[in-house]
Chain A
Amino acid sequence: MKKLLAGAAMALMALGGNAAQAQDYPDRPIMMMVSYGAGGATDFQARIVTMTAGNEDALGMPIAIINKPGAGGRVGWNWFATQAESDGYTLAAYNIPHFIAQSIKGGVEYSADTFEPIANWGADPAVFVVAADSEMTSMEDAVAYAKENPGKLTFSGAGLFVGHHIAALQLEKAAGVKMAYIPTKGGGAAAMKAVIAGEVMAGVNNLSDAFRAQEAGNVKILGVFDLERNEFLPDVPTMKEQGLDIDNASVNFRGVMVPKGTPQEVIDKLSATVPEMFANERVAKKMKAGGSPMHIMTREEVQEMWAARQATLEELLAGL
């Protein structure tokens, strides 16, 4: 039904041209593009954080989610950068560092300059996991193994130029070792399966998914690729605590953005309302129940974060 509504909204958009009046924005349902498949973590969280959009104190109009999955998010973001209407009725979810890393690597139509951030809703750090029966119990063990067996420690992650890959690169750089990063097809779930089934010795995965897998007794989490410990895993030390100089560049930030060229009044209205909408109590409850860490940031904070990521990633990916 939501898809139909959004379809109708798009048809209206095409008919009415760009004549939307900024002062009564929004006067019809809004569409939000998610560049990953239905059921994935980004899709799941996007649906929760936008579920109160129709409330009077939020936007007063519902937000419909449209999935355009493919090629690690490139399909959806390419579409958003080149074909989406910039009238404020087409939003998209962003994943940092994915889209910035992909734009640095090249071959896509977008970069941090083609999008305007609105607000951030979540931050899912990468974590280092091993199977529950693994002999490694800390990052020290893993690094020691990698030093003794250069290039032999196999560890999985969800593809190249995504958060997991960035974390893997940071780990190799900070520990000064060579390891074998195995990118999987099929996202974090496939990477996690490789760890649990013993196909690889370790893995980088999302904190939210790893938290669930640890609860189920399938994996051990050895370290968090973030600046601080996470509320879901208060006992797991960060990489820095374990002597590895790694910052939060790989943390998967998720939030809302619009295409460049969207009227300033619309951006102002959205960036004032959307963080409030994310802060809704019902949203927080659902997110916590699903094991998804929230991290609300305003437009200014996100702009800073994007710029910082751009600089870090350019340095890290140089020469790859």
Chain B
Amino acid sequence: MEFIYYFGDVFAPVSFLLLLVGTIGGLILGATPGLSPTMAVALLIPFTFHLEAVQGLILLGAAYTSTVAGGAVSAILLKIPGAPANIATTLDGHTMAKKGEGARALQLSFLASAVGGVFGVLLLIFLTPLLAQWALAFGPSHLFWLAILGVTIIGSLDSASVVKGLLSGCIGLWLATIGFDDIMGAQRFIFHSSLGGGINIIAALIGLFAIPQVLTMFAKGRRNDNIEVIEVKKHAIMDAVRELLSRKRAMAIGTAVGSIIGLIPGVGGQIAGLVAYDQTKKFSPEREKFGTGHSEGVIAAESANNAMVGPSLVPLLTLSIPGSPTAAVLLGGLLIHGIFPGTDLFDNHPDVAWTFINSMLIGQILMCIFGLYVAGLAAKVAQVPQSVMAAVVLGLSVFGAYSVQSSMGDVYVMASLGVMMFFLERFGFSAAPLVLGLILGPIAEANFIQGSMIANATDGMGTYFLSGALNIVLIAIVIASIAYSVVMELKQNKAQNEEASA
């Protein structure tokens, strides 16, 4: 209960002002296509040099929280996820926006974010020591199986056909092998100097999602001027609250999956939203509605990606191990003030630790309030003429891809992937499984190589990868996930055959 003593500090004038600035600024940065949470936090680092430790961390924490939630804005309105965390949000969110329900989708996403986010931070407050053990429990063999579990959902993700989903996934897995391999230093498929560092995930995200959108918009804008103006329906906030309360299952699954997966260093943040979306779909009686603008999809994805924020800081705050690139930047923010995460932080600087954590709790709520406030306004984006929108999005895409690491190479990668995706979409392939392959490839590969090196030096491959409670549980989930997909596919085929014969 120690944290309650430090609640007052969050409301100290300067601290609270920074919290407000961080939250609002983070929402805007997050809503800009191509600006990821990591980048937003990195941009703020120089400012924290001049602030006190607590103030600096409050600013960084607020920016982290609200950029993740802000990413939903461009994901829903433009179908451009700001970060891997928001990919799942595009699947139903954008369809809703196309139907004129952008305001509803945004309200639901901010409310779900806040619920998930508050839950995640509460976990961080009450269960940190326990969670730290859990975060460490995942060794290379477990992470390998976790990545394989991710691969099993590729086929069913946002595709008309399982085969096309799997094919997109394979393209993603192949793209992931490009570049210098970090473990052995081997060069793979580097035909151009821009590919030396591999395909940057943010540049790829922008290309795969935004460019096909832009091309489609240009094509439409040329044919019929202003004919297709979407009417944006107003949506009362209280209705959104009521709807959220009636979607308890999506909310619970999203929050639980987000919190659990968010903990795992190096994996969590990127796939939490997608796994939560997939699980909610599997447990939902209305599973066929997913992908057609179903609110459960948005709720699950957004509650998961904000629930992950709190737990993702556990390895950093307790063990000084940054579990994600964003956490690495936060570590820098602590070190610059001579504060070492771990026992030093909680024993010698409890004011810093708890004020920071409390500020994230209040930040979640502020984020929700501001988010709801702008939701109605932002939804009007759908009324901007398509040709104008296309130009704006194209500009932001180039800017976003360049600014990831100040490299034109990333812009070329973005453009070529985008054009490729435009044609693939024509043939019924979709971007989400491709990106999932791109994310999971390196995780599966690196952990398999590392695990087999350890296994060869110790108990041998079989024992290392196939024994131990956690391995067996993960393998069981993998098998269950595949079996479920097969059974569902067969059922669907049977239903179709009956329909055809009737």
Q: Which residues of A contact B (CB under 8 A)?
A: 1-3, 6-7, 37-40, 43-44, 47-48, 51, 66-72, 74-75, 78-79, 82, 102, 105, 107, 151-154, 159-161, 180, 182-186, 189-190, 192-194, 196-200, 209, 212-213, 215-218, 286, 288-291
Residues of A within 8 A of B200 (CB): 70
Residues of B within 8 A of A2 (CB): 46
Q: Are A189 and B341 in contact (CB under 8 A)?
A: no
29 A-B pairs whose Cβ atoms sit less than 8 Å apart in the complex: A39-B45, A39-B322, A39-B330, A44-B336, A47-B46, A67-B42, A68-B406, A69-B405, A71-B185, A71-B198, A72-B185, A74-B197, A75-B197, A82-B193, A107-B180, A151-B457, A160-B184, A184-B446, A184-B450, A185-B182, A186-B182, A186-B266, A189-B328, A196-B321, A197-B139, A212-B320, A286-B338, A290-B335, A291-B335
CB-CB under 8 A for A193 and B336, given A47-B45, A107-B187? no
Q: Are B46 and A291 in contact (CB under 8 A)?
A: no
Q: B342 on the interface (CB 8 Å rule)?
A: yes
A190 to B324, CA, bound (A): 10
Q: Are A43 and B450 in contact (CB under 8 A)?
A: no
Residues of B within 8 A of A47 (CB): 45-46, 49, 332
Residues of A within 8 A of B193 (CB): 78-79, 82
Q: Are B335 and A44 in contact (CB under 8 A)?
A: yes
In the complex, which of the residues A71, A152, A194, A198 contacts B197, with contact meaning CB atoms closer than 8 Å?
A71
What is the number of contacts between chain A and chain B, taking CB atoms within 8 Å?
176
Q: B125 on the interface (CB 8 Å rule)?
A: no
A66 to B403, CA, bound (A): 10
A96 to chain B minimum Cβ distance, whole angstroms, is: 17
In the complex, which of the residues A1, A39, A78, A286 contacts B325, with contact meaning CB atoms closer than 8 Å?
A39
List the B residue with the shortest CB-CB distance to A38.
B42
Residues of A within 8 A of B140 (CB): 199
A232 to chain B minimum Cβ distance, whole angstroms, is: 12
A289 to B42, CA, bound (A): 20
Q: Which 4 A-B pairs have the closest CB atoms?
A: A70-B197, A289-B338, A216-B342, A71-B180
Q: Are B184 and A1 in contact (CB under 8 A)?
A: no
In the complex, which of the residues B49, B321, B405 contacts A189, with contact meaning CB atoms closer than 8 Å?
B321
List the B residue with the shortest CB-CB distance to A211.
B340
Q: Are A189 and B322 in contact (CB under 8 A)?
A: yes
Q: B496 on the interface (CB 8 Å rule)?
A: no
Q: Are A37 and B325 in contact (CB under 8 A)?
A: yes
Q: B350 on the interface (CB 8 Å rule)?
A: no
Q: Which residues of B contact A (CB under 8 A)?
A: 38, 42-43, 45-46, 49, 136-140, 179-180, 182-185, 187, 193, 196-198, 200, 265-266, 315, 319-322, 325, 328-332, 335-338, 340-344, 403, 405-407, 442, 446, 450, 453-454, 456-458
Q: Are A193 and B405 in contact (CB under 8 A)?
A: no
Q: Are A7 and B405 in contact (CB under 8 A)?
A: no
Residues of B within 8 A of A160 (CB): 183-185
Q: Are B457 and A154 in contact (CB under 8 A)?
A: yes
A45 to chain B minimum Cβ distance, whole angstroms, is: 10
A218 to B133, CA, bound (A): 12
In the complex, which of the residues A1, A159, A193, A200 contacts B321, with contact meaning CB atoms closer than 8 Å?
A193
CB-CB under 8 A for A215 and B406, given A75-B197, A199-B140? no
CB-CB under 8 A for A180 and B46, given A66-B406, A212-B342? no
Residues of B within 8 A of A289 (CB): 335-338
In the complex, which of the residues B49, B407, B458 contacts A154, with contact meaning CB atoms closer than 8 Å?
B458
In the complex, which of the residues A3, A185, A199, A218 contacts B139, with contact meaning CB atoms closer than 8 Å?
A199
A193 to B314, CA, bound (A): 13
Q: Are A213 and B179 in contact (CB under 8 A)?
A: no
List the B residue with the shortest CB-CB distance to A83.
B193
Q: Are A218 and B336 in contact (CB under 8 A)?
A: no
A72 to B181, CA, bound (A): 9
A225 to chain B minimum Cβ distance, whole angstroms, is: 21
CB-CB under 8 A for A216 and B183, given A185-B450, A196-B136? no
Q: Are A3 and B332 in contact (CB under 8 A)?
A: no
B187 to chain A minimum Cβ distance, whole angstroms, is: 5
A11 to chain B minimum Cβ distance, whole angstroms, is: 12
Residues of B within 8 A of A215 (CB): 340, 342-344
